Amino acid sequence: MHKFCLTHKYHKHMEKIDYKLVGQGKDSFPEHWMKDNTGDNISEKNQYYDMYTFHYWLWKNYLQNFEENKWICFSTYRRFWKTENFNENSELKNKIIQTPPAEWSGFETILTEPTDLKNIKISKIWKKGKKIIFKNPSVLFNKNKRNVKFHFDLMHYPGNLEKAVELIDKKDKSEFIDYLNNETHINFWNLFCCNSPKLLAKWYEDVFTWLFKCEKIFGFKDLKDYETGRMYAYLAERYLPFWFKKYSKTRTWPIYFHEHQKLNK
């Protein structure tokens, strides 16, 4: 099992988890860590691409090191895959997956447990979605209208996702639009596990082809703050569950969130 833990800043709790540790972007990291700024890389785009600068590096420089039918798992410094016998009182290493659970047998991809977008609080919709409400007041009362597209528009400005989808490959475009407009659950955080480097290579080819096209629309200089700062990671986050469900056999698995106050313990 190949286990990667990604971060854009050094956190000493990562040293104790027995994962391959990955430093991204501009910060300095210990020599024994992997970095996304060697070889063929897009490390300078990390503030906009988030974990996808490492995924690009992995695709271009490291993918040949993986074997078929051996799990490749991605975590971040505060989000990890829970072990089967999770115990809140255990040390971090024992709370998170170290070997593939038996329940993963027969699957190619593991996605995070889905979040139900129908449960978005009315107060959040009022606060961030006045333009959306003006165009479609039914989102306040009809929870089935709170789909993946609605959530992206709410959190990352209306219209941005529609512009990006126009650039997606035609083999996925119509189905992806249907997914965005009809799916009311989403597998968040761009975290997944995959047991096929061939499948992973296909994902990377599709997602980066799309994201690089999107750069012509959104660029970089006007991307800022939570709403648009990591635009390319936000777009990939919507494409990822759709793509893997379409092209592989998937199941979901719970995530453990390592709280901020515990980060350096």
**d(Cα 62, Cα 55) in Å, to the nearest integer?**
10
CA distances from 76 to 28, 67, 73, 135, 256 (A): 17, 23, 10, 37, 11
* Residue type (1 letter), 184: T
DSSP for 99-126, please give it: S--GGGTT-SEEEEPPEEGGG--HHHHH
User: Do residues 235 and 164 touch, judged by C-beta distance below 8 A?
Assistant: yes
Q: Please, what is the average pLDDT of the chain?
A: 94
User: Do residues 22 and 4 touch, judged by C-beta distance below 8 A?
Assistant: yes
**Token output for 84:** 């089967």
User: Do residues 229 and 223 touch, judged by C-beta distance below 8 A?
Assistant: yes
Residue 260 has a pLDDT of 56
**d(Cα 26, Cα 36) in Å, to the nearest integer?**
10
CA distances from 24 to 3, 50, 129 (A): 16, 8, 33
Interstrand relation of 185-186 and 34-35 (parallel, antiparallel or unpaired): unpaired
Task: Identify the residue whose tokens are 């993963």.
Answer: 104
Q: 189 Cβ partners below 8 Å, 6+ apart?
A: 76, 79, 112, 237, 255
pLDDT digits (tens, 9 = 90+) for 2-16: 999 999 999 999 999
List the beta bridge partners of residue 111: 192, 252
User: Do residues 183 and 114 touch, judged by C-beta distance below 8 A?
Assistant: no
Residue 80 has a pLDDT of 98
**d(Cα 237, Cα 229) in Å, to the nearest integer?**
14
pTM for this one? 0.94
Residue 207 has a pLDDT of 98
If one counts every other C-beta atom within 10 angstroms of the C-beta of residue 228, the result is 16
Question: Helix (H, G, I), strand (E, B), or coil: what is residue 5?
Answer: strand
Q: 96 Cβ partners below 8 Å, 6+ apart?
A: 17, 75, 80, 81, 82, 83, 256
DSSP state, 83? P
pLDDT digits (tens, 9 = 90+) for 101-143: 999 999 999 999 999 999 998 888 888 878 888 788 888 888 9
Residue 263 has a pLDDT of 56
Residue 265 has a pLDDT of 47
Residue 261 has a pLDDT of 53
Residue ranges in the chain whose pLDDT is less than 70: 260-265
CATH number of 2-114+187-262: 3.90.550
Residue 262 has a pLDDT of 56
